[in-house]
Amino acid sequence: MEKHHTSQKNYLVPLVIVGIMFFVIGFGVGISGFLTPALKSAFNLTTSQSYLVTAAIFSAFVVFGAPAGWIIKKIGYRKAMMIAFFIMALGMVLFVPSAKSVSFPLFLVALFVGGIGNTLLQASVNPYVTIIGPVESAAMRMSLMGIMNKSAWWIAPLFLGLFINLQDVQLNDIVFPFYLVAGILLVLGVFTYFTKLPEVKAQGEDETDLDAEVSAYAKGKTSILQFPHLLLGVLALFLYVGIETLPMASIIDFAKASFGDVPNLEGYSKYVTIGLVVGYIFGVLAIPRFISQTKALIMFAIIGIVSSLLLIYLPAKYAFYALLLTSFANSLMWPAIWPLAMIDLGKFTKTGASLLVMGIVGGAVIPLIFGYLVDAAKGVADVATVANYQVAYWVMVPCYLFILYFALFGHKIRLK
C-alpha cells in the first residue's frame, strides 16, 4: 500500500539510526516509570497524584501532536528528529531547578517540555519506519524498533538507580544524571543533523502522484476526518498505550502490595519489559513469514483479555505474574496498529501520523484513571491492598476488547 524511496538493500543503516531514536524514547518512558514511586515518596503524594508524573509527559502529545505534523511537513523527518532531541534535552535540564527547589509543579513542567520533544520524535520515527519498506512487513520493522525501545525501559531504572535510593529519595541526587542525559540528547541531535538519513514519502503523499490504483481511496478526500479507519486506529492506539504504560507505572506498587517491603523493589520494573521483548522477537521472526500483522493483532488482543482477567481474579502471588503476561500481550499492538491505521492515507500521511501520536496521551489517561480507582477502592485506608489494585485493573478489559474490534473489523471499514 505504501511507496518508499529506499531499496530493501539500504534498509539497514536507516533502521539502525532510527533504532537509536527508539531507544531514547524508551529511556524517557523508563525514567517516568521509575520516578512514579520515587516522587510519591518524596512529595508524600496519593496514588492518583503520583500518576500525574505520567500525565505530564503524555499530555504533551495532545497539545503538540498537530503542530508536530506541521513541522514535519515543512522541514522533513530528519530535521524534525534533530529538533526533537534538542527539546528533550531542555526538558532534562529543567529537572535541575525543580529538584533544587523541591517543586513538584516545576517537576511536572520539566516532564511536559520533555514530552513535547518526545511527541515530535514519535511523529517522525513511527511513520518513517512504516513507510521505508513494504507495508506487509511494517509490523516486523516496528517490532525491531520495539526491542530497542523496551530495552531502554529496562536500562533507564538501572541508570537512575545508581543515583536514587527508592527507600530514601533525595531529589538533589537527580541533578548529575539529568545533566548527563541532556548532554547525550544534544549529541544525538547534532548526529541526526549530519547523518545521511534518506527522506521517504508514502504512496500518493505528493500532490502530483498519479498512481490511482494504490492511492484511489485518498483521492477526493479533503479532510483527515474522512478516514474512519484512521480515527478508529487513533482510539485503539490511545487505549493500547494506556494499558502498555500501566504495568510499568504500577508494577512496583503492586509488587509491594503483593509481597510486602522486600529489597530492591525497583528491580521489578525490568520484568515488564521481558514479555514485551519476547513478543517483539516473535514479531520479527513470524511477521509476515508465518502470520500477518492483522492476525497477530487479533491473537495478542485475545491474550490481553485473558491475562487481564487472570490478573483480576487470581490470588495475589499468581496475579502478579499475570500482570507480566499482559506485557507480552501488549508487545505486537503498537507494531500492528500503526500500519493498519496509516494504510491509504496518501497526501494525508503526515497529518495522520500526528493524529496517531496524539493518541499516545492514553499513556497518561489510563494510568491516571487506574490511580483514582485504586484510591477509591481503598477508601479511607492509608495503604492500598492487593484487592484494591485488582479491582482497578478492570480498566484494562474494555481497552483490549476495543483493540480486538479494530483488528477484526475497524481497520477494514475503509473497504466498505
Higher pLDDT, 415 or 3: 415
Where does the pLDDT of residue 227 fall: very low under 50, low under 70, confident under 90, or very high at 90 and above?
confident
pLDDT at position 274 is 82
On the question of pLDDT at 307 being above 70, the answer is: yes
pLDDT at position 263 is 59
The residue ranges of every structural domain in the chain are 8-197+220-415
Q: What is the mean pLDDT of the chain?
A: 80
Query: What do you get for the CA distance between the two ends of the chain, in Å?
Result: 17
What per-residue string of b and e applies to 172-192 under the rule 16 or more CB within 10 Å gives b? eebeebbeebbeebbebbeeb
Statement: 8-197+220-415 belongs to CATH 1.20.1250.20? yes
Where does the pLDDT of residue 3 fall: very low under 50, low under 70, confident under 90, or very high at 90 and above?
very low
pLDDT at position 401 is 97
Residue pLDDT, tens place only, 40-72: 666 776 666 666 776 777 788 888 888 888 888
Rounded to 5°, the CA angle 189-333-249 comes to 70
Average pLDDT over residues 316-329: 85
On the question of pLDDT at 354 being above 80, the answer is: yes
Where does the pLDDT of residue 248 fall: very low under 50, low under 70, confident under 90, or very high at 90 and above?
confident
pLDDT at position 320 is 82
pLDDT at position 233 is 93
Residue pLDDT, tens place only, 387-411: 888 888 999 999 999 999 999 998 8
pLDDT at position 160 is 73
Q: Specify whether the CB–CB gap between 197 and 78 falls below 8 A.
A: yes
Distance, CA of 255 to CA of 251 (rounded, Å): 6
Kindly tell me the burial class for residue 270, based on how many C-beta atoms sit within 10 Å of its own C-beta (0-12, 13-18, 19 or more). Answer: middle
On the question of pLDDT at 310 being above 90, the answer is: yes
Could you give the percent of the chain with pLDDT greater than 90?
13
Distance, CA of 291 to CA of 82 (rounded, Å): 36
Residue pLDDT, tens place only, 296-306: 999 999 999 99
Distance, CA of 233 to CA of 411 (rounded, Å): 7
On the question of pLDDT at 225 being above 50, the answer is: yes
On the question of pLDDT at 131 being above 90, the answer is: no
pLDDT at position 264 is 63
Helix or strand holding residue 150 (H, E): helix 138-161
pLDDT at position 7 is 45
Distance, CA of 405 to CA of 102 (rounded, Å): 45
pLDDT at position 6 is 46
Q: Which amino acid is at 12?
A: L
On the question of pLDDT at 261 being above 50, the answer is: yes
pLDDT at position 216 is 67
On the question of pLDDT at 212 being above 60, the answer is: no
Lowest mean pLDDT among 143-157, 239-253, 260-274, 326-340: 260-274
Lowest mean pLDDT among 295-309, 312-326, 356-370, 381-395: 381-395
Higher pLDDT, 85 or 223: 85
Where does the pLDDT of residue 337 fall: very low under 50, low under 70, confident under 90, or very high at 90 and above?
very high
Where does the pLDDT of residue 139 fall: very low under 50, low under 70, confident under 90, or very high at 90 and above?
confident
